[in-house]
Amino acid sequence: MFTDMEKWAEIRRRVLHGEMSKRAACAEYEIHWETLQKILTHSEPPGYRRTKPRASKLDSFLPIIHEILKGDRQVHRKQRHTAKRIFDRLRDEHDYQGGITIVQEAVRALKQQSREVFLPLSHPPGEAQVDFGFADVWLDGELKKVALFVMTLPYSDAIFIQAFPRECTEVFLEGHKRAFEFFGGVPNRISYDNSKIAVAQFVGRRKRKVTTEFLRLKSHFLFEDHFCLVRRPNEKGHVEHLLDFARKNYLVPVPRVDALETLNHHLVERCENDLKRQVRGKPSPKQTLLVEEQQCFLPLPKQTFEARRLGQANADSLSLIRFDTNSYSVPTKYAYRQITIVATVNEVRLSFEDELIACHRRHWGREQYFFNPVHYLALLERKPGGFDHARPLENWDLPVSFGILRRRMEAELGGMGTREFIKVLRLLERHSLSALKRAVEYSLEIGATNADAIRLILEYQQEEPVALFCLEGRPHLKLVQVAQTDVSAYQSLLLGG
């Protein structure tokens, strides 16, 4: 096919202007007569056009390929057929005699035909989308996978992202709380996928029965929820797109931090800087659009929302409560009792009948034990022989003065000295370690080395001086008149009167 555009134009000009004949043009340019007719008919090469499709060896096998690709939609993407695997099956199972290239072209064409086409969605101001993703982070020298909570606003294209140890209820709630504070209000409508954190039961194509904690979140912030159809992530494609953007731009190279809060502070700064950017197709920078969008937000409630998960468990014979595979201690008097667990991102609070009995820092590892030594002192007072072998007291870093006190007590009281020392330690149930340390040091100075003396010293040191009584603010007391005492009247008592 003759396709040289420069010569095409030259031949048309010379022949149609009469500078040369058609026969001379065919001879000079070495082209066929039919080619010359095409050049004179068309102002530019019309391109290759097949008037009739050519029969192929693969035509009779196309329905088989179509069925294989249709079946692949129901299985995991990593177990779907490649073009090479389809070629092997056609050859081995269906006696296909053709080559692999035509199979690859047919598979590519069928996949393109079957790809779903999505409708662009309109996003009015005041709507948000939420999703979770994952990323690797060097955390305190160890490479760990963290969960990324992301909330985006499609209208302004603003994004908020935070990293947490893993995806769970309290993380889900804490992410919302931080996002609302960052955006300066609560979106009217938020779109979600069908995570078990929020969805307790499907009750229709669109309707969902949500979890208790998600209801508590909605009731506090008063937003409307919207759940995507199953396997229709395009309904919240905005948050998925920005999640990929944030992961590639905020977390590459892999961050190295000593704690997740350090990383989250960095992520907030990146989100704030991103508000200065203007996105293609948007009339203004994100910051300007966010200010407009805030006019459509619900106000932040005055009452603080606690992002927590509730649970209950019985303390075992070791006075331990198991939560999230880890075990946390409670005072020994609550062994075998049912304990209420309140878990947040940072702490685990343990209560019995509305009384807070223990508080531990939240640990995100697995199958770990966390003891508070003070919880076991009451039991050790009855069993002082186990003091030096008790696991909860391992690596308990007490001040040097406590060791001196114990040695003096054991020297003075013999076998009872350890029990007396435990009585001193039990003062930590009601007082701080720093306050008890001051009392112990003072008792060593004056030589009052017994539990009762140290308790009195501690209570005396913590007494607050009595303030002078003031009549200011008490106008009714100013009306009371008290006569001046005549002290000479008492002189008669001294004289025997």
Beta strand residue intervals within 211-306, DSSP E: 224-227, 256-257
pLDDT of residue 449: 85
**pLDDT at res. 488:** 74
Helices marked H in 76-162 — which ranges?
Answer: 83-94, 100-114
Which pLDDT score is estimated for 340? Answer: 96
Identify the band that residue 53 occupies on the pLDDT scale cut at 50, 70 and 90: low
Answer whether 0.85 is exceeded by the pTM. Answer: no
Mean pLDDT to the nearest integer, 388-400: 92
Query: Does position 2 have pLDDT exceeding 80, yes or no?
Result: no
- Inform me whether the pLDDT recorded for 1 exceeds 60: no
Average pLDDT over residues 443-453: 90
Is the pLDDT confidence value at 472 over 90?
Answer: no
What pLDDT is stored for residue 45 in this prediction?
Answer: 81
Model confidence at 121, pLDDT cuts 50, 70, 90, reads low
pLDDT, residue 55, reads 66
What percentage of the chain carries pLDDT values higher than 70?
92
Report how many helices (DSSP H) and strands (DSSP E) the chain contains, helices first.
Answer: 18, 15
Alpha helices (H) along 349-494 = 377-382, 400-413, 417-425, 433-446, 451-461, 475-478, 491-494
Closest CA to 451 of 474, 428, 432: 428
Helices (DSSP H) in 141-184: which residue ranges?
Answer: 169-183
pLDDT recorded at residue 147: 95
Predicted pLDDT of residue 52: 56
pLDDT of residue 115: 65
Q: Which of 68, 49, 65, 47 has the alpha carbon at shortest distance from 57?
A: 65
Distance CA 111, CA 119 (A): 19
Q: Strand, coil or helix: what is 148? A: strand
* Highest mean pLDDT (candidates 45-49, 92-96, 320-324): 320-324
User: Percentage of residues in the chain with pLDDT exceeding 90?
Assistant: 56
Task: Give the residue-averaged pLDDT of 185-197.
Answer: 92
**Ramachandran angles phi, psi of 369, nearest 5°:** -115, 135
Cα first-last separation, the chain: 148
pLDDT at 228 over 80: yes
pLDDT at res. 477: 73
* CA-closest candidate to residue 125, choices 277, 232, 283, 274: 283
How many whole angstroms from its chain centre is CA 192? 15
- pLDDT for residue 296 is more than 60: yes
Range with the lowest mean pLDDT among 20-29, 200-209, 228-237?
A: 228-237
Query: HSE (CB half, 13 Å, CA atoms) of 6?
Result: 0
What's the rounded Cα separation, in Å, for the pair 23 and 146?
78
Mean pLDDT of 111-133: 75
Strand ranges inside 99-156, DSSP E: 127-139, 142-153
**What type of residue sits at position 398?**
L
Residue with tokens 């979140």: 217
Predicted confidence (pLDDT) at residue 46 exceeds the cutoff of 80 = no
* Among 309, 301, 270, 276, CA closest to 291: 276
**Collapsed DSSP state (helix, strand, coil) of residue 62:** helix
Q: For residues 286 and 288, give the distance between their C-alpha atoms in angstroms, rounded to a whole number.
A: 5
What pLDDT, in 10s, does the model give residues 311-366? 999 999 999 999 999 999 999 999 999 999 999 999 999 999 989 999 999 999 89
List C-alpha distances in Å: 315 to 19, 311, 323: 107, 13, 11
Looking at residue 356, its pLDDT comes to 95
- Please state which of the ranges 151-160, 197-206, 256-265, 444-453 shows the lowest mean pLDDT: 197-206
Predicted pLDDT of residue 335: 95
Output the average pLDDT for the chain: 88
Whether residue 50 is predicted with pLDDT greater than 60 in this model: the reply is no
Other Cβ atoms within 10 Å of 128 Cβ, number = 30
pLDDT above 90 (res 272): yes
- For the chain, what percentages of helix, strand and coil (3-state, to nearest 5) are there? 45, 15, 35
Task: Tell me which residue has tokens 């096919």.
Answer: 1
Alpha-carbon distance of 26 to 163, in angstroms, equals: 74
Neighbours of 305 (CB within 10 A): 16
